[in-house]
Every structure is written in C-alpha cells, then in structure tokens.
Amino acid sequence: MLTAPVLANDNIIPVSKETKDIATHLRDKAIDDDSAYEILKSLTTEVGARHPGTPGEKAGIEWAINKLKALGFDKVYTEDVNMNGWLRGVETAEILLPSYQKLIITALGRSKSTPEGGLEADIVHFKTYADLEKALDGSLKGKIAFISNRMQQLKDGGGYGPANIARSKGHELAAQKGAEALLIRSIGTDDHRNPHTGATNVAMGYTAVPAVALSNPDADQLVRLMDYGHSPKIRLNIQTKDLGPIVTKNVIGEITGRELPNEVVVIGGHLDSWDLGTGAVDDGAGVAIAMATGAFIKNNAKLRPRRTIRVILWGAEELGLIGARAYAKARQEDGTIANHVIGSESDFGAGPIYGLQSSNNVSPNAIHVVDTMAGLMGKLGVSRRSGDTSGGPDMIPLAALGVPALNLMQDGTDYFDLHHTPDDTFDKVNPEHMRQNLAVWTVFTFIAAEWPGSFK
Amino acid sequence: MLTAPVLANDNIIPVSKETKDIATHLRDKAIDDDSAYEILKSLTTEVGARHPGTPGEKAGIEWAINKLKALGFDKVYTEDVNMNGWLRGVETAEILLPSYQKLIITALGRSKSTPEGGLEADIVHFKTYADLEKALDGSLKGKIAFISNRMQQLKDGGGYGPANIARSKGHELAAQKGAEALLIRSIGTDDHRNPHTGATNVAMGYTAVPAVALSNPDADQLVRLMDYGHSPKIRLNIQTKDLGPIVTKNVIGEITGRELPNEVVVIGGHLDSWDLGTGAVDDGAGVAIAMATGAFIKNNAKLRPRRTIRVILWGAEELGLIGARAYAKARQEDGTIANHVIGSESDFGAGPIYGLQSSNNVSPNAIHVVDTMAGLMGKLGVSRRSGDTSGGPDMIPLAALGVPALNLMQDGTDYFDLHHTPDDTFDKVNPEHMRQNLAVWTVFTFIAAEWPGSFK
C-alpha cells in the first residue's frame, strides 16, 4: 500500500476566514481613503525638505511626533541616531571655453569643497565608470573627469544600480586617476535642468575629490560640444560644510497588538529627504503611506490586530541608512530582533503597487500567507512576483539579521525623473495612486499582524 | 440681358504652374532635410544663451554672421540697435515662516534690486491681477503682493496674454498699492521647478518695485500654506544690474532676387534669448528655420526667386522688440518700407505648423496666392485659417506700417512649458518637426518671392 498523499502539513497555519474578511473590508474601504495623500500634503507643505542638520529636519521630526499622536497611535517615541552632518553651500559651474555658458549642477552628498572661488580645468570625457577605470592612475592631473552615461528608464528602477556606481564611487576613482574633480551626468531619467544629488560612498567626512552632478540637458550639452571637436574648459565652485557629529532621530509610532504586543510588524518610510526638493516621492510618500496604514487599521478594523504594528520613520536614510543601521544594531544587542516578525518599507515613490515579492527569509510554511495577501490585492492590480528582496533600503540591516520581508513593488517608471531633484514636490503625486498604496499596505499589514503563525 | 458673371479679374495675377511646380519640388525635398535642426544644434550648443549685454550675445552675433556666410547668403550685414542693458545677478528667496524653505524664483526682466541682503515681508495673496487692482492704494505697505493665477495651456498660446498682464504690469500695480515687491506665479504651463522670466513693461531702466516669478510648484506651495491657514513670511533677495546704453545688432542675410532685387520678402527669428536656458525654442528654432529656408531655396530651386529673400535675425526681441522697432523706424525714415512685400517671423517654438493665416494688410487680389500656398502645404498638415495677424512679434512694427504678413501657426501646446526657463534647451526639439517647418517655410518664402504680383 502506498502512503496517502500529504493533504495537510501540521506546520502550516491557515489564514482564517475572519482575517481574510477583515482584510477585504479594510481594502475596500481604504481604496476610497485620502489620508495618506493628506498626510503627505501636510508634510511636504508645512515642513518641506528634511535634510539632517537643517531646520527642516527638526521640523519634520516634530511634525511626525505630533501627527502620529493626532492619528491615534498608542505609543509614539523617538530614538537618537548619531551621525556626521554635511551641508550644501554655494554650487556654480560655467563653461569658460569655447563659449561662456552657465551649467546647472549640484554637489553629491558629502562632496568636499573646491578651493574657495572654484577651480578651472578642462574636462576629460569617459562614457562610463568602466571607461574611467581604464585610464592610467595619475593621468588626469589638472583635469576634471566627466562620466556621461545615462541611466536607463525601467519600471522596476533596474537602471539605477548600474548607473549609480559613478555617483557612489566615481570620486574615489577620479582621485586615483589624479583628477581635480568628478563631474557626472545626473543619475536620473528626466530631461529637465534639475540635477540629481545623492550620496557618495563615504560613511562620514568628505569625498576624495569634489563630486558634482550635471542635469541631463547640461551633460548633453558637454557631450555635443565635444562631438563638435571643442575641448570644454570648466569653472567649478562647490562649497560644502562638515557639521561634525549631530544627532538625528528615528520616529516610531505603534498600534499595540491585542495578544502578542511584543511581536512587531515593521512598516515605514524614511523621514529625512534630500535638501533640493520637498521629499515628496522620496520619501514623504512612504512616510505618509505607513502612518496612514497604521492609523487606518486601528480605526477601521473591527478587531485590533494580534501583533503590534510598528511604524518606523527612519532617519538619515539618504546618507547611508544611518537610522536603520542604528535601529538594527540596538535590536541585535538587546535581543529584541527576535520579536521582529516581518517588515517592509515604502521607499520607491508614489506610484501604484503592481507586485508582491517575499524575501528568502520568509519560511516555506508562511509562503501561503503571502499568496493569500497577493490574492486579496489582486483586485487592486497587484500580482505575486518571484525574486528575493530586502523589503526596502531601510529594511536591509534587519533583513541581514534574518527578519523576513516583503516588497510591495511600485511602478517606478517616473521615479527617477524626480528622485533627489528640486522637482521632488507634492504636485507630482497622484491621489489615486496614494489610495491604492494605502489599500495594498493595509492588506499586508493587517494580515501580517493578525495571522498567528511565524513568518520565520 | 444680364451681364456675364465675372470669370476673371484683371487685377488678379495667377500663380504660375512653374512656380507651383518648383514650390512642390522644394517642399518634397525639404521634408527630408535636417539643415534647420543642425543649425539650431550649432547655435544652442556652441553659443548657448544670447542675452543682450552678455558674452553669449556677442558670440551669437558672430556665429550668425559666419553661419549666414557659410550657408551661401549673397549679402550678410548687421545693423546697430541702441538699447539699455539689464543683467540678472543674485536671486534667492526663502520662506521664513511657518517653516524655513527655499523657493525657486527668477527676476523678471528689468526688475530693480531689493535692498542689499534682501527684504523680509509677509505675502498678501491675490488670485489674479484684477484682484490686486481692487486693493486700496497704499494698503500693502510692508508686504509682498503675490499673484497666483495659472496660465491656461492651449495649442495657440491663447492663455499667455490674459495671464501675462501680471508679469508685464504687475510691478506698477504692486507699487501703486504700496507693496515692497511683486511675486507672481510663473507665466508657464509646466510643473517643474524652473521659473519663467520675461520682460516687464519698462522700456528702459527699472521696474517700480522688485518683480519676481516663482516656479509653478513653488507658487502651489505658497497657496497650499495659506490654505492651511499659515501666513508665509518671505525673504527675497534680487540683485540686478543696469548696464546703461549698449549696442546690439540685427543680423541680416539676403538671397538677392533675380528680377526685383529691391523688393524684399522678410523672414526671420530673433537671435537674442533669455539668459536662463540656451534659447532653443525661443527663438533659436525660428533663427534656424529662417536661415535654413533662405539657404535651401538658393541651393535647391532651379530658379533663383524674382525678389530678394531677407532673413532678419532680430536683436533684443525679449526686452521689447527693440531690434524690430529700430529696423522699421529706419525703413520708414528712408522710404524703403515700400519695398517690403510681405513678411513673417518664426517665434513660437519648434512645434509643427498646422495653419496659415494672412493679415488684413494682404490685398484681396493676393488672397488666392495665400490659398495656393496653403494648398501646397496641405500635404504637410497645414490648413488655411481665418483671423488677422502681425506675422510674429518682430513683425509688429512692420505690420503697423502696412507690410502684409502671414502667420505660419505652430502647435504651441508645450511651448509655455519651456518658454523663458532654464529648460529651453536643444534636447526639447524634435527633428521631424524642424523638417516640417523648413518645408512649410520654403513653400511660403519661395512663392512670396517668385509670384510677380503685389501682396498690398
């Protein structure tokens, strides 16, 4: 006789009908709810940019505390995060030869200053970071290294990584080659004269040489000039400021779980933003979606979820996940990392969610829960997707410690038009998309906090 | 007996079959010709912005002379134009209350400076210029008057005039009401943080109070702050410079007529541009189209046209049609105005042409010629349109002296996204549209210069 086929696995705990019914009810109510959009409007309008070490950052933290309280979160608290501050000052560039033309640039994060009054140098053109690698060490003495390749525009943002090495590491390579400064085409997909800033790979302190991004049209202009046979000479003046040690904060709000209050589902976005825009798509949207999700579940679910929903508004993401690393390190040290059931961050703009990925940290016995979430999200245009995920940039340190994560994949086709530019402002956000995000996040968060099984 | 119906009018001179055949041949060849696009690329890349009193203006004039010669124009010359120069300097603005936020602004043309270091004042919001008119004289002491209405986006640019009164005359009205400065929403249809500059109604010298435009997203931000009940306090620092009397130039190139060399068909664009972008759609495109048209006809028509084609690259259009007024005044004084057979300027961007209008100065006996032109342009997507026209901004002084004009109507739907902003750059121009413009202008210009009758 053969053994009977396995019809059930003792380790698999189903998602109850009641849980699914509540999640469905929440989904269908959230899709008409503008609270995420309204929270984002308030943050981007009444606070604006939130770069660490600026008055805007302080105002943002205060705003977040007050807003979480006003939304009815059960606990609201902050945790200090130590970092070194960096501020942008003067930033100008001009083509001096073959004709005088102003360029629109911005310093990359932690760029060192040029000499006071600027430096003047010819540019040497490299189509890619890899091409600059091929130059002889020390061969660019007295020159500005210019990397011109353009980021590819893709729905999932897949063009970012390959292009971004010029931004993150170009300053070191340019220094190694002997250049006076690094000039890159913005890592962005638009054609507006808004340069894209962003962090360099410098944990604290300054880049090896001044590191600057040109707007896409300005990069085009330099390339065309060289195509005509000209050798552009540039004046570059960047003055930046090292603030030394400063303290920023992670701001945390909790909806306390009814049965397992020590077990936490982590959702969030990062509260800091670059200084050029008002941090609407990066990452006011994520902040607003996470805050709205916690409040919406508390106020609309007939049952307070079993576990605690911890909304973390991460600090200093842009300068290297500084708040997220501090949070994870502290949880590793005090052992509470074990209480982190699952998590995700919304940090890819304000576009609609189309896919749901689960990380390899999610137990095979919990995959059916993710499938159930995706099934309920189907009506919202979301489908189940393969592939591993950290669950968002600020989830990386937690994921590295084994915390399971989901990725609520947003359509990021336009994200890198705005990312890290002055154009990252509230007017770019579609309220319908914010409602869809709230509905999707509500399904995920409620089920994750309510399903009694383990995701690990 | 009744008189026979009028079958012919002795005064009506037909367009010959040969003329139509040549125009058709030129049209069908020009639609594959990239010379206008290439000329525009060279101007915007190798010269850049061309604001009167800057090195770019000088470079632009030199470029134009050399390019006209290289294109084979029979005569190339310049005419001096006297004006007062005005330069933009520092321009910064910040919201101080309720939270510190940087605003992106630009001074309007001929704006006076704020006190050194700037001025600080609350803003008073007026939805329209008409609303500001209703304020009591002297009632805005110590305040900044803010006009927030948004320009409507229309194919024919019809939203520009109604909105633009805030830019052209707002400074006088704000002064009359006692305000310290005028702050307007940019006269533009985009949503990027690129403010739109543009002239105020000040022939020479300075505006009555500092006059500044906010980018559209920045104007939205102020409106939203006030909708929340805040009273924004602003710091505004504009430093501008009066250059006093300077000399600019109209640059002129001619294809000499084979039979009636003293009779001229005037086509052109304006060579000056605002300082923020590189003057691609305003009006490098018009310059390039006119230059390419003259050269294309000379090099491709089997018959040199009967009349002279005079390509005028107007100087200092942006500050009040200064080159065009000087040109017309000189022709009125020396009597050669009578030799100006017909004219048109291309100064509405680089979009495709969809319509052909004739001015009321065109004789009824010449209307059939315009109809013939439109018929030949039909294949290019152009149809005959009603309505009077000056034939373009720089044609206004000539039209006022009775010179007949046509309007080659371009689709300007996107024109005011770019107009007078840093974003007016070459990458925005579609080469297919430039080819279509060249083909349409070639049909008009060849027939106007070849048809032996009078347009007057």
Residue A9 pLDDT: 61
What are the C-alpha distances in Å from A414 to residues A156, A432, B224, B341? 10, 16, 24, 51
Task: Tell whether the torsion through CA atoms of A321, A324, A327 and A331 is positive or negative.
Answer: negative
* Eight-class DSSP state of B13: P
Rounded Cα distance, A200 and A109, in Å: 6
Q: pLDDT at position B203, please?
A: 77
- Residue length of chain B: 456
pLDDT(B4) > 50: no
Interchain proximity B228–A46, CB inside 8 Å: yes
Q: Tell me: the pLDDT tens digits for B426-441? A: 999 999 999 999 999 9
CA distance B63 to chain A (A): 11
Confidence label for B364 from pLDDT (cuts 50, 70 and 90) = very high
* Average pLDDT of the segment spanning A227-233: 97
- Picking from B171, B212, B169, B164, the residue whose alpha carbon sits closest to that of residue B188 is B164
Average confidence (pLDDT) over B24-32: 98
* Alpha-carbon span B287 to B314, nearest angstrom: 9
pLDDT > 70? residue B310 = yes
**How far apart, in Å, are the Cα atoms of B86 and each of A106, A354, B182, B361, B383?**
27, 53, 18, 35, 41
Domain boundaries, given as residue ranges, for chain A: 17-74+256-450, 87-241
Do residue A217 and residue B423 have CB atoms under 8 angstroms apart? Answer: yes
Of the candidates B128, B219, B151, B140, the residue with the CA atom closest to the CA atom of residue B174? B140
| Chain B residues whose beta carbon lies within 8 Å of the beta carbon of residue A192 | 192, 194, 423
Q: Note whether A98 contacts B: Cβ–Cβ < 8 A.
A: yes
Q: Is B41 on the interface with A (CB under 8 A)?
A: yes
Q: What is the DSSP string of A248-301?
A: EEEEEEEE--SSEEEEEEEEEEE----SSS--IIIIIHHHHHHHHHHHHHHHH-
What pLDDT, on the 0 to 100 scale, is given for residue A203?
77
Using a CB–CB cutoff of 8 Å, tell me whether A192 touches chain B.
yes
Q: Which of B101, B220, B231, B418 to mutate to test the interface with A (most CBs of A within 10 A)?
A: B101
Of all residues in chain B, the one with the smallest CA distance to A94 is B48
Q: In this predicted model, what pLDDT tens digit does every residue of B93-117 receive, in sequence order?
A: 999 999 999 999 999 999 999 999 9
Residue A299: φ, ψ to 5°: -85, -15
How many CB atoms sit inside 10 A of residue A123's CB? 23
- DSSP characters for A28-94? HHHTT--HHHHHHHHIIIII----TTSHHHHHHHHHHHHHHHHTT-SEEEEEEEEEEEEEEEEEEEE
Distance from the Cα of A246 to chain B's closest Cα (Å) equals 19
Mean pLDDT to the nearest integer, A29-36: 98
CA atoms of B248 and B317, how far apart (whole Å): 11
The predicted structure's pLDDT at residue A204: 76
Amino acid at A50: R
Q: What is the pLDDT of residues A144-203, one digit of tens each?
A: 999 999 999 999 999 999 999 999 999 999 999 999 999 999 999 999 999 999 999 997
| Overall average pLDDT of the A238-259 stretch | 98
Q: Quick one: pLDDT at residue B433?
A: 98
- Helix (H) or strand (E) holding A446, with range, is helix A431-450
Q: Position B191: which residue type? A: D
Give the per-residue pLDDT at B276.
Answer: 98
Q: Which chain A residue shows the shortest CA-CA distance from B215?
A: A423
Look-up of token digits 């003055």: A239
Torsion of CA A228, A231, A237, A243, to 10 degrees: 90
Q: Is the pLDDT of residue B192 over 80?
A: yes
Residue A39 and residue A232: Cα distance in Å, rounded? 47
d(CA B243, CA A36): 52
Asked if B426 has any chain A CB less than 8 Å from its own CB, the reply is: yes
Average pLDDT on B63-86 reads 98
CB-based contact, B92 to chain A, within 8 Å: no
**For residue B63, what is the nearest residue in chain A, using CA coordinates?**
A99
Binary contact (B101, A220; C-beta < 8 A):
no
Superfamily of B17-74+256-450 according to CATH: Zn peptidases (3.40.630.10)
pLDDT of the residue at B205: 83
pLDDT surpasses 80 at A123: yes
Chain A neighbors of B226, CB-CB under 8 A: none
The mean per-residue pLDDT over the stretch B131-147 comes to 98
What pLDDT score does A6 carry?
44
Two tokens at A74? 């059960």
Q: Which residues of A touch B426 (CB under 8 A)?
A: 217, 220-221, 224
Residue range B89-241 in CATH 3.40.140.10:
no
Model pLDDT, residue B11: 78
Contact A90, A238 (CB under 8 A): yes
pLDDT score for A11: 78
Q: What is the mean pLDDT of residues B313-332?
A: 98
Among candidate residues A243, A244, A242, A239, the one with its CA nearest the CA of residue A113: A239
Cis peptide before B283 (omega within 30 of 0): yes
B46, B422, B427 ranked by CB distance to A98: nearest: B46
**Which of B100, B189, B281 best tests the A interface by mutation, with the highest count of A CBs <10 A?**
B100
When CB atoms are compared, the residue of A59, A220, A425 closest to B99 is A59
**Structure confidence at residue A7 (pLDDT):** 44
Averaged pLDDT, B123-144: 98
Q: Is B217 on the interface with A (CB under 8 A)?
A: yes
**pLDDT number for residue B3:** 47
- Judged against a pLDDT cut of 80, whether residue B204 lies above it is answered with no
Smallest Cβ–Cβ distance between A46 and the set B98, B217, B422 belongs to B98
Of A237, A278, A313, nearest to A429 by C-alpha is A278
The top-level CATH class assigned to A87-241 is alpha beta
